[in-house]
Amino acid sequence: MAEEKEKKENQERQKETPVWEWIIAAVGLILVVAALGTTLYRAVTEESTPPILEINIEAVHAANNGYLVEFRIKNTGNQTAAALTIEGELKRGEESVETSTATLTYAPANSQREGGLFFTKNPNEFELKIRALGYEKP
């Protein structure tokens, strides 16, 4: 009889959920609700802006068959630019000496991406112009 009572008490203790589990579950619920709330708030209140692209030249390196110009693109808009084409042009006055293009798969909203352009002539000896030519909406 005493053994049955002891077994029953052990089973009931095992069925009870410890307080720390309830606390962890509550914290998890709060985090999920906060994330969903933030996402919903931004979706409703933010104005939809196209990709706003800022391109900076990071470095120029000598490569095997020419030169590599590394660049960084910052998209401060809240839409993604897909298949983003970048053009670099070496100029001497009004004369275009050489052009190079690169395509970035994605430049997500509020992000930065890096890429490179290859030239046969030294970009340090010319005026280097770099710009985005176009993109697709994903």
Quick one: average pLDDT of 57-79?
A: 94
Whose CA is closest to 128, among 119, 136, 137?
Answer: 119
Q: Tens of pLDDT along 75-94?
A: 999 899 999 999 999 999 99
The predicted model scores a pTM of: 0.68
Residue 110, SS3?
coil
Q: What is the pLDDT of residue 83?
A: 96
Highest mean pLDDT among 16-25, 47-56, 83-92: 83-92
- Around 80, how many Cα atoms within 13 Å sit in the side-chain half-sphere? 9
Residue 44, SS3?
helix
* Residue 112 clears pLDDT 90, i.e. is over it: yes
Residue 8 one-letter amino acid? K
Distance CA 39, CA 34 (A): 9
Q: What is the dihedral of CA 54, 104, 58, 64, to 10 degrees?
A: -150
